[in-house]
Amino acid sequence: MKKILVPVDFSKPAENALRVAAELARKNKAELYVLHVVEMAETLFGTEQFNVNDEQIIFFMKMAKKRFAKFLERPYLEGLNVIDSVEVGSPTMGINEVVENDNIDLLVMGSNGASGIDEILIGSNTEKVVRHSNVPVLVVKQEFENLNIKDIVFASNFEEENLNAFKHAKTFADSFDAKLHLLYVNLPGNQFYSSEEITEQIKKFLDKADMSDFDNIKIYNDYTIELGVINGAKSLGADLIAMPTHGRKGLSHFFNGSIGEDVVNHSTLPVITFKI
């Protein structure tokens, strides 16, 4: 982790994310990129009914930069190499452009989560980024005076497609000298597997990862994968949840959803996702 990006919107969750990102940057001697996007709907540009001219854009940018500079007056940023920028447009697109253009290694984002009709119809910028990001995304909701991570849960079905995500999670855990636990959620009905079947599945997975001696394995029974991940992590006393995400799009995303996004929305623990 040599380049860490944290998008901010001046909210409390964004400040929580900035504090965590600063600590990670200091720990890894990384550059800290801080981005604010002045969000404007695409319909505001290039139409007769709604139009934003250059003077208005400049005005919005000046106001945002003034507020941004004030927001970055944080003692925990002192001594860090901070690269800040203000852009206009879609937050998701702005974030993706910085990730691609500056070769970002990790995204850190704050979130309040979403629920009910907002979660289905609107969602959040964080959820969209988790869905589409090609780099790991760490989502935090609570304030942390010190990022003391000792136990990390990697939740997975332990199919071969998740091997790279597991290796990234292991590297992330090692950077904190944290203990990594493997979590499998067993569901009722025709998605139920015996302990012997699950253990054999995980054993094959670990053999392919060249970690056959790994023994921090937890099988947790619950009604949904999302609940199992959250409740299983709590039962292990985890400080952070790590998991792969498919980043489904379109109709596939609407009907199947993404477990990673659901956990990000509803977990009170920090969650880091790895695109597979």
Asked if 37 and 7 touch (Cβ cutoff 8 Å), the reply is yes
What strands, in cross-sheet order, belong to the sheet with 217-221? 82-89, 31-39, 3-7, 106-110, 137-140, 271-275, 240-245, 151-155, 179-186, 217-221
CATH architecture of 1-145: 3-Layer(aba) Sandwich (3.40)
Instruction: Return the top range by mean pLDDT from 28-32, 84-88, 188-192.
Output: 28-32
Distances (CA, A) of 267 to 68, 79, 221, 239: 29, 32, 18, 11
**Average pLDDT value for the chain:** 84
Mean pLDDT of 27-37: 92
Who wins on pLDDT, 129 or 169?
Answer: 169
Q: Sign of torsion, CA 242 247 253 256?
A: negative
Sequence ranges of the domains in the chain: 1-145, 148-276
pLDDT at 98: 94
- Give me the residue label for tokens 């500079």: 69
Who wins on pLDDT, 255 or 182?
Answer: 182
- 75/67 Cα distance (integer angstroms): 17
Residue 201 confidence class, pLDDT cut points 50, 70, 90: very high
The per-residue pLDDT for range 216-251, each reduced to its tens digit, is: 999 999 999 999 999 999 999 999 999 998 766 554
Mean pLDDT of 145-161: 90
CATH architecture of 148-276: 3-Layer(aba) Sandwich (3.40)
Asked if 138 and 270 touch (Cβ cutoff 8 Å), the reply is yes
pLDDT at residue 84 greater than cutoff 50: yes
Q: What does R_g of the chain's alpha carbons equal in angstroms?
A: 20
Chain-centroid distance, C-alpha 148: 18
